[in-house]
Structure 1
Amino acid sequence: MNLPAFHVHLSAGRRASDEMSLSFEEAQQRLSELERLYFEPDGSFVWAGAGFQVFGMLYDAAGKLQYVELRGKCTLAAWRRLIECFVTINAAGQKSTIVVMVLPERQWQELQTFESLFIA
């Protein structure tokens, strides 16, 4: 199933002070494990495959990833594979929270809500 074209920001929360639980370098390492992904040292990347293409940019400060910008079109399976690059698991075994700001509307959505719009 293909997602429609999207332009979003991923972050750990809706407040400016919410940061993701991984560093720029950790995100870069995880992204580099995806086949056909090209990563630039400035944090920009493109991931393309049969029928999909996603452009992205990592934004970090103070040693932590602040948010990720994603734009493109892909399958739901590819989307979820990409999102897993930014998810961490804490000592209690809980996955980190990711929220989505849909652009240009600047509308916040929970990750599962954003994904469910394309499953129905």
Structure 2
Amino acid sequence: MSPYFSFQAYVYRGQGRPLGRTLEQAAEAMNSLPGLFFEWDGSLTWANQTAGWQIDATIFDDGQQIQYIDLHGRAVSQEGCRRLNERIGDLFAAWGDPDELNLMRLPDRRWQNLHDFAKESQGDD
């Protein structure tokens, strides 16, 4: 089945700054998210095929703090997209202050905050 919405983005604090949190701090926060699978190589997957969404990411750090996150996701319906956005909000809270984090959408390298990303993904321009 083809996706209703799919994306790739890099997550930074502000526009291109490290997230200001260690991998260990992020991992501890992500441990409370039910169904999320995290590996210490920085990879994670979080999905619910019944609800129609999936998130994959790779967290890149320099041993002191997270530099950026390569985030991919897809949803197969508008409802799946709503749930996808909720889960991305949960991840942003685990990765730092959601109000300080932005997505650099690829391939066009366009910056978006979480609110604008959610509006676009739902087709609410």
TM range (shorter): 0.7 to 0.9
The alignment status of 1:116 with 2:113, answered yes or no, reads: no
**Cα deviation, residue 62, structure 1:** 4.9
Q: Give ranges in structure 1 of 5+ residues lacking alignment.
A: 89-94
1:103 pairs with 86, 106, 117, which one?
A: 106
Q: CA deviation at 1:96?
A: 5.2
Partner of 1:83: 92
* Percentage of matched positions with identical amino acids: 27
CA-to-aligned-CA distance 1:13-50 (integer Å, 9 cap, x gap): 224xx211211111111112211111111100101123
Amino acid at match of 1:79: I
Q: CA RMSD in A?
A: 2.1
Partner AA of 1:77 in structure 2: E
Q: Which residue of 1 aligns with 2:10?
A: 9
Residue in 2 that maps onto 1:53: 54
Q: 1:10-29 counterparts in 2 under 5 A? A: 10-15=11-16, 18-29=17-28
Change beyond 3 A, Cα 1:80–1:37:
same
Residue 11 of structure 1 contacts residue 67 of structure 1 at CA under 8 Å; is this kept in 2? yes
- Asked if 2 retains the 8 angstrom alpha-carbon contact of 1:21 and 1:96, the reply is no
Match of residue 92 from structure 1: none
The code of the aligned residue for 1:98 comes to L
CA distance in 2, matches of 1:111, 1:39: 22
Taking structure 2 as the reference length, the TM-score comes to 0.76
In structure 2, the residue matched to 1:91 is none
Q: In structure 2, how many angstroms separate the alpha carbons of the residues matched to 1:26 and 1:82?
A: 12
1:72-99 Cα offsets, whole Å, 9 max, x none, are 12522222122221123xxxxxx65111
For residue 104 of structure 1, what is the amino acid of its counterpart? Answer: P
TM-score if structure 1 supplies the norm length? 0.79
